[in-house]
Amino acid sequence: MNLDQINPILLIASLMVAATPILLAAIGETVVEKAGVLNLGVEGMMITGAVVGFAIGVNSGSPALGFVGAAIAGAALSMLFGVLVLYLLSNQVATGLGLTLFGLGLSALIGKPYEGMKVPTLAKWDIPLLSDIPVLGPILFQHDPMVYVSIGLIMAVWYVLKSTRAGLILRAVGENHDAAHALGYKVIRVRLMAIAFGGACAGLGGAYISLVRVPQWVEGMTAGAGWIALAIVVFASWRPWRVLLGAYLFGGITVLQLNLQAAGVPIPVEYLSMSPYVITILVLVLISTRGKHGAPGSLGRIFHASH
């Protein structure tokens, strides 16, 4: 065992990388849930984004194009969910589960020829001057662009939800869809757009795993990241900045357990690798003891306008 190998600066820097996929998926899902829709298909959209991003990255040689394709694929898949839930009024829990199962199958099918291939990955930015700051430089200013995109998305979602008319309408639709409908807001259209945004974010998150974090295609490689993203939305009480906090906490645990594994701590590997999930459960319990405040009022309910 050699704990001195663990470098706190590197640990924090890699924590941000480990957290980014979950962060992207979770901020998308926050918007979806704020609009009153519970999409349990995050895992399915993430893995589809992962495989599509990887395939495009390999074929085009451009990871940036891979990310664009992954976002489109995630959004397209989410539209399947959207049509079922919003127009055909199906149960959101069941449909979301179906989306996950479907996405896992679809991704395995697309990904088969790409197993074991290499992909060009995103170059790290070395922001001049800032990256030379001791300690803070390596932690904050030497990442690939997607890390900054994810933080930018948090900021944008926070601003739109809090301070714009569009955000107000979205929240109204999520809090009480009947009242929002009576006021003349287009409940279905708002929700459809929110779902597409959530799908695109999940796709980006998945692509980050296959293009940057790993970077390889392995069947089922998201390994529950989509579900953890869903848990983080609950943990964050549907608030964007807390999503950031939750994702980074989770990323920290993941990176720490990997580092402990590498350092040869005398705890069996299996216990270390289950720890992120166990800790997520513990955190969920802690959050739920405080009651349900923060959940949008119409979350998970079917909207059917009789007039």
Partner 1 sequence: MIRLEKRPSPSRFWATATPILAVIATMIAGGIMFALLGKDPLEAIRTIFWDPLFHETFGPYSRPQLLVKAGPLILIAIGLSLGFRAGIWNIGAEGQYIVGAICGAGVGLAFYPTDSVLLFPAMVLAGALGGWAWAMIPGLLKVKFGTNEILVSLMLVYVAESMLASASQGLLRNPEGMGFPGSRNFKEFPAGHNAEIFTNSGMHWGVVAAFIAVIFAYILLTRHMLGFQVRLTGEAPRAAKFAGVKPARLILFSLGVSGALAGMAGMFEVTGPAGQVSIDFNSGYGFTAIIVAFLGRLNPIGILLAGLLMALTYIGGELAQLMLGLPGAAIQMFQGMLLFFLLAMDVLSNYRVRWLRKEVTS
The residue ranges that bind partner 1 (CB under 8 A) are 40, 80, 84, 88-91, 93-95, 97-99, 101-109, 112, 219, 223-224, 227-228, 230-231, 234, 268, 270-271, 273-274, 277-278, 280-281, 284-285, 288-289, 291-292, 304, 306
Min CB(227)–partner 1 separation in Å? 5
Task: State the Cα–Cα distance between residues 151 and 221, nearest whole angstrom.
Answer: 23
Min CB(99)–partner 1 separation in Å? 8
Question: Which C-beta is closer to partner 1: that of 163 or that of 289?
Answer: 289
Dihedral over Cα of 227, 228, 230, 235: its sign: positive
Task: State the Cα–Cα distance between residues 28 and 229, nearest whole angstrom.
Answer: 9
Report the SS3 class of residue 266: coil
* Maximum alpha-carbon separation in the chain: 68
Output the CA–CA distances (angstroms, integers) from residue 236 to 27, 279, 284, in the order listed.
10, 15, 10
Question: Which C-beta is closer to partner 1: that of 33 or that of 144?
Answer: 33
Question: Which C-beta is closer to partner 1: that of 76 or that of 97?
Answer: 97
Dihedral over Cα of 105, 107, 111, 117: its sign: negative
DSSP letter at 219 equals T
Q: How far is CA 186 from the centre of its chain?
A: 26
What residue type is 229 in one-letter code?
A: A
Min CB(161)–partner 1 separation in Å? 22
Question: Which C-beta is closer to partner 1: that of 59 or that of 288?
Answer: 288
Output the CA–CA distances (angstroms, integers) from residue 300 to 37, 175, 188, 206, 307, in the order listed.
5, 11, 14, 24, 21
Min CB(90)–partner 1 separation in Å? 4
Min CB(98)–partner 1 separation in Å? 4
Min CB(274)–partner 1 separation in Å? 4
Task: State the Cα–Cα distance between residues 272 and 169, nearest whole angstrom.
Answer: 44
Question: Which C-beta is closer to partner 1: that of 131 or that of 216?
Answer: 216
Question: Which C-beta is closer to partner 1: that of 63 or that of 246?
Answer: 246
Min CB(123)–partner 1 separation in Å? 32
Question: Which C-beta is closer to partner 1: that of 20 or that of 48?
Answer: 48
Task: State the Cα–Cα distance between residues 267 and 38, nearest whole angstrom.
Answer: 37
Which of 72, 31, 35 has its CA nearest to residue 53? Answer: 72
